[in-house]
Amino acid sequence: MPSILFEVKDQIAFITLNRPEKLNAFNREMALLFQQKLDECQHDKNVRCVYITGAGKSFCAGQDLSEVVETDGQEVNKMLREQYNPIVWKIRMMEKPVVGAINGVAAGAGANMALACDVVVATKSSYFTQAFSKIGLVPDSGGTFILPRFIGWQRASALMMLADKIPAEEAEKMGMLYKTFPDEIFVEESIKIAEKLSHMPTRSLALIKHALNFSVSNTFEQQLKIEDVFQQKAVETHDYKEGVKAFLEKRVPEYTGE
């Protein structure tokens, strides 16, 4: 079986991390295949939403530790540059919404990849752990950037140092994710979110995403300029014209993503 399952259905690309016997931990082959699929999503005009989940009872347990026995600093450095950094970068730069559908444990790089998604939802039985410090590592995959911005410095510091298991409902209260759903209705409810996003004005969603990307390092003044530039881009889209027209005609808009 391939380590990544991939299917495009009704303009949603479903990416499933598929090494369930290892709780979908990443080996090199899986990390590279994941990147390839993210690239396909970016370039395929038929894809208007990406949905990432894990096979079996877990989302992802981070790096496959059986692959890194006796790894030295240079190899880890290469690993981050070749495997993990491009994955979170591609998720953040993707010009379509990415749903992180967390269906069990999200640990280490798996937890931080989840945080990089645009809309993160989880089963109530899921949990997150910044597992790195437990094995003498430092959080990677953007975790030290994203987590303090989501939940504040103090809580991020505690989570990263203690590597505690944080149940999804607690993570939701902290602001680490959007919503949790009971396990038995999770697939249905999380796909509904992807379906909704796939029918929305895709280019406006991409601009919202990039505006948020810029907001983490911009001043208020710089951000007002970004909003100005992005709004001009949005106004030029077909979907904007359709949105206004449909509103005035009192009908449901039909967005094409253009």
Tell me which residues touch ligand T3D (CB under 6 A).
22-23, 25, 61-66, 68, 71, 76, 79, 105, 107-109, 129, 131-132, 135, 137, 140
Would you say 126 or 129 has its CB closer to ligand T3D?
Answer: 129
> In the bound complex, what is the minimum distance in angstroms from residue 58's beta carbon to ligand T3D?
7
Would you say 34 or 255 has its CB closer to ligand T3D?
Answer: 34
List phi, psi (to 5°) of 236: -80, -5
Would you say 135 or 244 has its CB closer to ligand T3D?
Answer: 135
Would you say 160 or 207 has its CB closer to ligand T3D?
Answer: 160
Query: Which tokens sit at 2?
Result: 């391939």
Strand partners, 66: none
DSSP strands (E only) in the chain: 4-9, 12-17, 49-54, 98-102, 106-107, 119-123, 127-129, 166-167, 179-181
The answer to whether the CB of 116 falls within 8 A of the CB of 146 is yes
> In the bound complex, what is the minimum distance in angstroms from residue 139's beta carbon to ligand T3D?
8
Positive/negative CA dihedral, 43, 46, 47, 49: positive
> In the bound complex, what is the minimum distance in angstroms from residue 160's beta carbon to ligand T3D?
12
> In the bound complex, what is the minimum distance in angstroms from residue 229's beta carbon to ligand T3D?
36
**How far is it, in rounded angstroms, from Cα 226 to Cα 66?**
45
> In the bound complex, what is the minimum distance in angstroms from residue 224's beta carbon to ligand T3D?
38
Query: Which tokens sit at 252?
Result: 């449901």
**How far is it, in rounded angstroms, from Cα 161 to Cα 176?**
17
Closest of 144, 139, 123, 115 to residue 63, by C-alpha: 139
Would you say 14 or 59 has its CB closer to ligand T3D?
Answer: 59
Would you say 84 or 186 has its CB closer to ligand T3D?
Answer: 84
> In the bound complex, what is the minimum distance in angstroms from residue 142's beta carbon to ligand T3D?
12
